[in-house]
């Protein structure tokens, strides 16, 4: 199974729709410490993923990776969020190919490090193709209702790709 490093947004989104388990069904997932802290220490009333992530880490389903090159993180901080930077640097330090990141600027940043970004939508499409989920549409609808930005064009393209 492929190792992948995830940023916070996909973890929050997957938790929101009750599918965080897809991460370890489809990959050997890692998160940098900054991503863990960002989610678990969030004081927001509607913080999806907080408890789910704690449990997943305790059970060993998701592993925390401590980035070694802290000086590079510090140099790049401000261009992106710390979790996004650490996600990319962790993947490079681990010699991986893929990162799970949704934000466009962070995806471009990952590509500049010769990494292949996958987003939550790509993961859900693949999960549908593999038979892990029956329908994609209800999950996309829930994500959209909860503030995930999915354009109409992308929404209908994804549904068409999976014959929904």
- pLDDT, residue 42, reads 75
Q: For residue 34, is it within any domain? A: yes
Specify the pLDDT at position 45: 61
In a domain, 159, yes or no: no
Lookup: tokens for 163: 């014959």
pLDDT digits (tens, 9 = 90+) for 103-116: 999 999 999 999 99
Domain assignment present for residue 157? The answer is no
Q: Which domain holds residue 107?
A: 3-120
Q: Is residue 31 one of the residues assigned to a domain?
A: yes
- Averaged pLDDT for residues 141-150: 93
- Going from the C-alpha of 131 to that of each of 22, 43, 127, 162, the distances in angstroms are 11, 35, 6, 11
Mean pLDDT of 125-152: 95
- 34-60 tens-digit pLDDT: 999 999 987 666 678 889 999 999 999
* Residue 155 resides in a domain: no
Percent of the chain with pLDDT over 90: 80
- Please provide the size of the chain in residues: 164
Contact predicate 18/132, CB 8 Å: no
Question: Which SS3 state, helix, strand or coil, does residue 23 take?
Answer: helix
* CATH number of the domain where residue 24 is located: 3.40.50.1010
List pLDDT tens digits, range 57-112.
999 999 999 999 888 888 888 888 889 999 999 999 999 999 999 999 999 999 99
Query: Is residue 131 scored above 70 in pLDDT?
Result: yes
- Does the residue 7 lie in any domain? yes
Task: Please report whether residue 76 resides in a domain.
Answer: yes
pLDDT at 43: 67
Taking the CA atoms of 86, 3, 68 and 59 in sequence, report the sign of the dihedral they define. Answer: positive
Residue 133 lies in a domain: no
**How many distinct structural domains can be found in the chain?**
1
Note the pTM of the prediction, 2 decimals: 0.91
């Amino acid at each position: 199974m492929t190792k992948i490093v995830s940023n916070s947004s996909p973890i929050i989104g997957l938790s929101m729709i009750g599918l965080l388990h897809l991460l370890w069904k489809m990959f050997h997932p890692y998160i940098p410490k900054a991503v863990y802290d960002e989610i678990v220490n969030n004081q927001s009333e509607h913080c999806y993923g907080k408890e789910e992530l704690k449990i997943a880490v305790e059970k060993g389903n998701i592993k925390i990776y401590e980035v070694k090159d802290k000086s590079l993180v510090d140099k790049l901080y401000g261009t992106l969020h710390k979790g996004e930077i650490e996600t990319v640097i962790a993947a490079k330090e681990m010699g991986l190919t893929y990162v799970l990141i949704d934000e466009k600027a962070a995806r471009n940043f990952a590509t500049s490090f010769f990494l292949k970004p996958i987003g939550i939508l790509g993961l859900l499409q693949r999960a549908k193709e593999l038979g892990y989920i029956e329908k994609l549409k209800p999950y996309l609808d829930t994500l959209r209702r909860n503030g995930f930005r999915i354009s109409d064009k992308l929404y209908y393209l994804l549904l068409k790709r999976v014959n929904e």
